[in-house]
Amino acid sequence: MVNVLGDIYSVLWVDLRFLRRHWLRTLATSIVSPILYLVAFGFGLGRGISFGDYSYLDFVIPGIIALTAMNGSYGGAGLKLHVDRLFYRCFEEYLLSPISLFSLAVGKALIGVVRGLIASVALLVVSVVISPSLVVGPLFVLVLVISCFVFSFLGVLVGLVAKSHQDMGTFSTLVILPMTFLSGTFFSLSQLPDAVKAVLYVLPLTHSSETLRAAALEQPFPWLSFLALLVFGVVFFAGCMIALKRTSV
C-alpha cells in the first residue's frame, strides 16, 4: 500500500513541478472563462430572474463551479498527458518503469484533480463574496472532489486514446463544449421535454451541476445523480486501465 501511494506520488510529482513553475499562468487561464460566464450570465443575462427563494446568480454559481471543475480537471489531466505522449514522447518512460498501471492512471488523474480544485476554489472564494447565501459544507466539498476525479479520469482516457492533436480538439468541440452549455449549468433541466432531458442525463456534468447546486442551496440532495457521478468515475477509470494496457502492448 505504501509502495502504491509512493508510486502515485512519483507520477504526480513531475506534473506538480510543472505546475509550481507555471502556477500563476495556470490559475489565470483556469478562472478567466468562469468569471466571464459569471459576469455574462449571472450579472448580465440573469439580472432580475429569480427562482422563488433564490436569485439566478445563486442558481448559476454552483453550475459554473461544476463547469470550472470539469474544465480544470479534464484539461489539467488530459492535455499534459497528450503532450507527453505525442509531442515530448516521454510518456513511455512510465511504461518502462516498474510502477503499476493502477498507480500510473491514478497519478496522472491527480494532477487534474489538483488543477480542477485550485480553479474551483479560486472561483468559490469570489462566489461566496458575491453570493453569501451559498452553503459550502462537507457534502459540497465531497461532490466537488468527486467531480474533479470523474473529469480527470475522462481527461486521462482521452489523452491516452487520442492519436493526434486534432483528435483532442474534436473531442472538445463535440463533447466538452455541448456539455458546457447543456448540462444544467446555466438553466434548469426541469423545463425541458423528457426526451431531451434523458439525453442530457447521459452527460456527467449534468449530475455534477445538480448535486453541487443541491448541496450549495440546501435543496433535497439528488442521491441518484451522486450515484451516477460515481458510476461515471468508475467507467472512466476502467477505460483508462484498458487504454493503458493497450498502450503497453
Partner 1 sequence: MEEVIETEKLAKRYGDISAIEGLDLRVHAGEVFGFLGPNGAGKTTTIRVLTTLTKPTSGNAWVNGFDVVNEPDKVKKVIGVVQQHLSLDRDLTVRENMEFRARLHQLGASERKKRIDELLDYVGLTEHANRIVNELSGGMKKRVSIVSSLMHQPKVLFLDEPTVGLDAQTRRRLWELIRRLNLDGTTIFLTTHYIEEAEALCQRVGIIHMGRLIARGKPLELRQKLGLVTVELLVNNKETRYQYFADRAAATSYVQNLPPDVKTIIIRESNLEDVFVEETGRKVGDD
- Please report, as ranges, the residues that interact with partner 1 according to CB under 8 A: 3, 6-7, 10-11, 13-14, 17-18, 21, 84, 88-90, 92-99, 248-249
Nearer to partner 1, 3 or 188 (CB): 3
Minimal distance, residue 92 CB to partner 1, in Å: 6
β-pairing, 50-51 vs 54-55, is antiparallel
Distances (CA, A) of 201 to 29, 116, 155, 195: 29, 22, 20, 10
Nearer to partner 1, 13 or 43 (CB): 13
First to last CA, the chain: 26
C-alpha span between 209 and 67 (Å, rounded): 8
Nearer to partner 1, 74 or 94 (CB): 94
Nearer to partner 1, 101 or 230 (CB): 101
Nearer to partner 1, 89 or 165 (CB): 89
C-alpha span between 71 and 30 (Å, rounded): 8
Contact 122, 87 (CB under 8 A): no
Minimal distance, residue 7 CB to partner 1, in Å: 7
HSE-CB of 150 using CA atoms within 13 angstroms: 25
Minimal distance, residue 88 CB to partner 1, in Å: 6
Minimal distance, residue 80 CB to partner 1, in Å: 9
Minimal distance, residue 74 CB to partner 1, in Å: 20
